Amino acid sequence: MMDGTVAGGRPEVRLDRSDVGRRVSVRRISELVNDRPVFRDVIGVLARWDDHGLTVVPRTGPEVTFPEDLLVAGKAVPLFPGRRAPLPASSPVELQRIASRGWPAVEQEQLGDWTLRASAGFTRRANSVQTLGDPGLPLPEALDAVQDWYAARGLPAVVEVTTPGSPPDLAAELARLGAEEAPTTVRVAPLAGLVRLGSGHDRVRLARTADAAWLSRYRRVTDDPEVERAAHQVLHGGPSVWFATVPGVPGQPPIAIGRCVIDGPWACFGAIEVAPHARRTGLASTVMAVLAARAAEEGATGAYLQVEAVNTGAIALYDHLGFTTSHTYHYAGLPRR
């Protein structure tokens, strides 16, 4: 129940438009019955507050939108604490499929059990063939088809090889073709432990979309309109997507950003980026904590992320946060035609 009152019991609004992106509790007039107001409370992320009204995204159910003049009381509330639970039981293959849903390619086509993915070259993950299972063709023919498919789109043919999960003789066939490898690990951790990370959680703002400020900190932004459109579609794809921002000086890029996709019991963390001058100050942990709390509020109990084997700094951070390795995969680039 709402307890944002002043002495004497009168409700008080302890929020303003600068609180957009925070977890809040608000009371509003939902209707009039016999000329008397009926009040309703909602707890969730304050997603919008402008001249058209307020929008709150609760843990479950639809968004709640109402005019500002119906707001009776409101305040910011602490992060959802998360509940202690074991890691969800998912095989490497299942987790790779979940990860693909959280970073969905603009174009996808099946080749047997394989999934061909293309997104104007925006990230290897969204521009590679996921090789989980049988392609329905002998491997040499399947890889020929992969090369043709990507060549038709003006993209390099990149194969995602998961261990375990991909055909056991695929790696040898790729080596025979002279494919270059880029190894990546998939790390997992119980979600509840992440919620308690960091400090200064009230600095972090959540949103359903990546606005211009968020994108200004994101390293993969380009000036190519086609890539920009693909990036927008991929970034906003997934079952339940949240973007975190730690604002900096007005007119300058944010100090830190992050992205989280919630898919059932799993929450994927990515795009955790901090301004160079603010690194090693705990901001990455703080961003992850706020995203983790939102994921826990939506029912997730496990966290996962993908980190390239050469990124030793990130690996050290995630080791410190309690992440362990679930499995590995690597990208293998085929010779261009």
Closest CA to 99 of 234, 227, 199, 198: 234
pLDDT at 2 over 60: no
Per-residue CA distances from 248 to 31, 157, 173, 245, 254 (Å): 40, 40, 49, 9, 5
Check if CATH label 3.40.630.30 holds for domain 187-329: yes
Domain borders along the chain are 17-76, 92-183, 187-329
The DSSP secondary-structure symbol of 236 reads: T
Residues 245 and 18 sit within 8 Å (Cβ to Cβ): no
pLDDT at 7 over 70: no
Average pLDDT over residues 127-147: 96
Residue 155: what are its φ and ψ, rounded to 5°? -120, 150
How many other CB atoms sit within 10 Å of the CB of residue 67?
A: 12
pLDDT band at 323 (very low <50, low <70, confident <90, very high): very high
The pLDDT value recorded for residue 181 is: 78
How many other CB atoms sit within 10 Å of the CB of residue 192?
A: 19
The model's pTM? 0.87
The pLDDT value recorded for residue 10 is: 54
Q: Considering the domain 17-76 in this protein, what is its CATH number?
A: 2.30.30
Please indicate whether the domains covering 17-76 and 187-329 agree at the CATH topology level. Answer: no
For residue range 287-305, what is the model confidence (pLDDT) as tens digits?
Answer: 999 999 999 999 999 999 9
Residues 103 and 237 sit within 8 Å (Cβ to Cβ): yes
